[in-house]
Chain A
Amino acid sequence: MTDSIQGALPITARNITKTYGKVHALDDVSLDVKSGEFLTLLGPSGSGKTTLLMVLAGFTRPDQGSLKFGDQEMIRTAPHLRDVGMVFQNYALFPHMTVAGNVGYPLRLRNVPMPEISQRIEKALETVQLGGYGTRKIDQLSGGQKQRVALARSIVFEPRILLMDEPLSALDKKLRDRMQIELRHLHEKLGMTTVYVTHDQREALTMSDRIAVVNHGRIMQLATPQGLYEQPANRFVADFIGDSTFLSVERHGDQITYNGVPLKTSRPVPDAASLVLMLRPERVRLATKTTKTVNEFQATASELVYQGDSYLMYATMPDGTEISLRGAIRQGTVAALPKIGDHVTLALEPGDTVLIDGRDV
């Protein structure tokens, strides 16, 4: 097995629709995955992300659409002829075979000569840090080890596309965090186009080159992690990625106002009918002195939570909306914090004043 997959393929999906009765599992979805890219499909359960992955794998046949791997149309190709690697949520390892039996299975199907099979199995196992585990039985492995065997099995035949369906969700937190980094390294080493499905936004932000946020069978936004976090396309994306509070704002010609007060912003203003101001807790500050350059809001402190490394404060705006703000704790911070019921002034830099499409999607 060569160190990096030669010629990773781009994926081109066009107008994929899948309905079950009246429900649109996938609603006219089009997607471009760049060659060698790590793209995550992120969304809540029932959003259609797994359905889309299954369409890519060939296990779900859409009602209509086109799917190309590179230049080849694949939408009507049977799953066993698509030559994609796939890792399942519950690993789907074959319990009646050893680790080597599992990893060697795709090679035996491709009539690879025996000596070469053993060689490639060992190489694949070493890549996932399980060198020498070939003779082990599946029920002797821990969850993390099973995960790696599943991974080794899916890359041993050098597919040019890798699909993963929430592979880390069955692991405990510490292991999951570690595996996220390892998967990322593996991807950088092997270079194959990877499509990853998860509902964990933290995971998506950590691992992906780009993220497609999916809901109701449609792609809400396709962007880099930073792009999604900094400039979400709509409320759903803003809400799903990170924490946020929304304040309704009005547009008067060129000006955007909140509570009648115009807002200063250096961010692009979307061309939407209704707008909201998205507040990220870590971007809102307690104002120490008044400056002309920042946006200021008057509020009443309603709740204060000590979280060790940071504090979380809830403040109620005059119109009743409760917003949250978070700040780091250093020497003297806690003593300087306002008490519950105190009047506070909150500051927001123009660079952090993000306006987004306010529609419900």
Chain B
Amino acid sequence: MASAFIYADGLRRDERLERLKLFGLSSPAILLVLVILVIPVGWLFFVSFIGADGQFSMENYERMITRKSYFRIFITTFKISLFATALCILIGYPLAYFMSQLPNRIANLCMITVLLPFWTSLLVRTYAWLVLLQKRGLVNDWAISLGLWDEPIKMVHNMTGTLIGMVHIMLPFLILPVYSAMKQIDRDLLKAASNLGASPRRAFWTVFFPLSTPGLFAGALMVFVLCLGFFVTPAVLGGGKVIMVSMKIVSNIELFVNWGAASALGVVLLTLTVFVLWIASRFLNLENIAGGGH
């Protein structure tokens, strides 16, 4: 029998071609993202180093440190993001815990109350709060008739309204990952803790809570990052008094057509976002955060 020809190069070529074809399936998507996001943002990076006179300059970045107003904007953004995240944790964690203790069918019903706002348009929800919190709005009317306060309190176009709105919008982003993490906790562990002598409170804080922290961390992180770059709700509910970085970027372009300033702000915001995400990725699988909400 004739000795067989041993294929090697041909096989290698076949393998490479197959890999290319498979990878090529994602090429339209990659192309789109490159053209519309990566390249323009990359270009903005360069633009941020161009000063008002059209020459290379660091003035856009210097402005952020020297001008008090810019500095204040960053502080405001951080403050609001931290507060909103903290409030979301305080309000969202108990609700998630409550739902995790329910039988599945009832829990799913309760989940609707979380998902319904989640899928409702951002603008609609923001608008709802605008109407509810206005001087002649529902909250003031009911509070006065219940005797909580005498005069209508200003709850919109300030920090209060902004925070209320943001927390309402961000809650689902925290609840969903935390709930998902809680559902995965093995109930037998709590039984074991009880059996070993832990009181219910002890069992919760030493067993349940630590096991839920990855989900909590993921959710809190997502909320924080989203708050940093948030535009719509602060813009509407803050009424121009509460200025966050994203709003400054927009006003720089819309009002002043100052691409240099806007890009520089954008670069800083992006860097901060990436930094926070990078820290998180050290502790978590990033894909789980993104997937946890759906």
Contacts and interface: CB of A to CB of B under 8 A. Distances in A.
A267 interface: no
A161 B10 CA distance: 25
B8 A64 contact: yes
A76 B15 CA distance: 10
B14 interface: yes
Interface in B42-95: none
Contacts of B23: none
Contacts of B8: 63-64
A14 interface: yes
Contact of A63 (B4, B5, B11, B18): B11
A153 interface: no
Contact of A65 (B7, B12, B14, B18): B7
Contact of A66 (B7, B12, B14, B15): B7
Contact of B4 (A14, A61, A62, A76): A14
A14 B12 contact: no
A20 to B, nearest CB: 13
B148 interface: no
Contacts of B18: 61
A68 interface: yes
A61 B11 contact: yes
B35 interface: no
Interface string A133-172: 0000000000000000000000000000000000000000
Interface in B14-30: 14-15, 18
B146 interface: no
A76 B6 contact: no
Interface residues of B, number: 11
Among B7, B8, B14, B15, the one with the most A-chain Cβ atoms within 10 Å of its Cβ is B7
A15 B11 contact: no
Contacts of B14: 61, 76
Nearest to B18: A61
A64 B7 contact: yes
Interface in A1-37: 12, 14-15
Contacts of B4: 12, 14-15, 66, 68
Contacts of A14: 4, 6
A75 interface: yes
Nearest to A32: B1
Interface string A58-73: 0001111110100001
B11 A76 contact: yes
Interface in A315-347: none
A65 B10 contact: no
A76 B8 CA distance: 10
A66 B6 contact: yes
Interface string A62-102: 11111010000101100000000000000000000000000
Contacts of B6: 14-15, 64-66
Contacts of A76: 7, 10-11, 14
A64 B4 CA distance: 12
Contacts of B5: 66, 73
Contacts of B15: 61
A76 B12 CA distance: 10
Contacts of A75: 7, 11
Nearest to B12: A63
Contacts of B7: 64-66, 73, 75-76
B141 to A, nearest CB: 55
A127 B10 CA distance: 41
A254 B56 CA distance: 93
Contacts of A73: 5, 7
Interface in B113-162: none
A66 B8 CA distance: 9
Contacts of A63: 8, 11-12
A37 B15 CA distance: 31
Among B6, B12, B14, the one with the most A-chain Cβ atoms within 10 Å of its Cβ is B6
Among B4, B11, B15, the one with the most A-chain Cβ atoms within 10 Å of its Cβ is B4
| Nearest 10 pairs of A and B residues by beta carbon | A64-B8, A66-B4, A14-B4, A15-B6, A61-B15, A75-B7, A66-B6, A76-B10, A64-B6, A61-B11
6 contacts: A14-B6, A61-B15, A63-B8, A63-B11, A73-B7, A76-B11
Interface of A: 12, 14-15, 61-66, 68, 73, 75-76
Given A61-B15, A66-B5, 11 more contacts: A12-B4, A14-B6, A63-B11, A64-B7, A64-B11, A65-B6, A66-B4, A66-B7, A75-B7, A75-B11, A76-B10
